[in-house]
Structure 1
Amino acid sequence: MECTIDWGGPEGMLFVARTGSGHVAAMDGAPDGGGNNLAPRPMEMLLAGTGGCAAYDVVLILKRGRHKVSGCQVKLESTRADTDPKVFTKIHFSFTVTGEALPVSAVERAVQLSHEKYCSASAMLAKTAEITHSVTVVEA
């Protein structure tokens, strides 16, 4: 896996990431940090990537279990350390999974498997952050 990051220049703190899979993502800083608020912060991208990784796992696990899943949303709320490096110290994942006759136990198990076995991003962040989860199942 590879990624190239290019700085947008001296007018701010805009960075453009080009991934090995051919995609582009922008990141910027807050005005008080020299940025222009044109894109998500790099740490927000890290948090979003972790949520995407976990949601991907949950949907894939449920589909492989032949469950009729039709939606998945995960909201992440985090706390960071007050001093540098300002690592994440707490991350809570709130999953809302929609489907037809989805057993809550199957969704909870999928979330647990993602956290304990499959999600590389949350496994790395768990080295510094207390990770918790909640699950809501909605009938389609």
Structure 2
Amino acid sequence: MDSAQIVKQYAVDVERVGLKHYRATSPSGAQVDYGQGEGLLTPVELLLAGVAGCAAVDVDVVTARRSEPERFNVHVEGDRVNEDGASRLSAVRVSFDVQFPDTPEGRQAQSMLGRLIEVSHDKDCTASRTVEHPTEVTFDHK
């Protein structure tokens, strides 16, 4: 028996804006355009942004209570592989580049980074944990 319990459902609606151009809209009305073309993130880049963004939020929420960062950047990259004609990402790497001021609060926030990144990866980041674990994805049409 699966021990997972549904505690919240997430959803977005995707609308075609034009050829290879799509817009995802959340229930709150937030929107992001993506697709293929100038100035658009590809769907895979959007997936990587979700992984990096999830971890960034986890780390930022806690450290910002101590000190505002002087620099807060997250880089994420993944390797696309082909398995018998089917594509997927194999390895995904997330790298934080964060610097806090040289103050007691800033040093405290800086000292927390490693542990917060670890907790985000191991427990809190729904996006990266979903990518790492087998997840059933179903498609249908009307």
Same fold (TM over 0.5): yes
Matched, 1:2 2:3: no
* 1:1-140 equivalence runs, <5 A: 1-9=10-18, 12-29=19-36, 36-64=37-65, 66=66, 68-70=67-69, 71-83=71-83, 85-101=86-102, 102=107, 105-127=111-133
- Quote the offset at 1:100 in angstroms: 2.4
- Quote the offset at 1:124 in angstroms: 0.9
Higher strand share: 1
Mapped to 2, the partners of 1:14 and 1:46 lie a distance apart of 16
Equivalent position amino acid for 2:53 in 1: G
3-state SS, counterpart of residue 87 of structure 2:
coil
* Structure 1: stretches of 5+ with no match in the other structure: 30-35, 129-140
RMSD: 2.1
* Structure 2: stretches of 5+ with no match in the other structure: 1-9, 135-142
State the TM-score, normalizing by the size of structure 1.
Answer: 0.73
Equivalent position amino acid for 1:126 in 2: E
Mapped to 2, the partners of 1:87 and 1:105 lie a distance apart of 35
Mapped to 2, the partners of 1:24 and 1:106 lie a distance apart of 32
3-state SS, counterpart of residue 87 of structure 1:
strand
Aligned residues: 118
State the TM-score, normalizing by the size of structure 2.
Answer: 0.72
Q: Determine what percentage of the aligned residue pairs are the same residue.
A: 27
- Quote the offset at 1:61 in angstroms: 2.6
Per-residue Cα deviation, 1:26-50 (whole angstroms, up to 9, x for no partner):
1112xxxxxx445111111111111
Equivalent position amino acid for 1:79 in 2: D
Mapped to 1, the partners of 2:74 and 2:52 lie a distance apart of 6
- Quote the offset at 1:62 in angstroms: 2.1
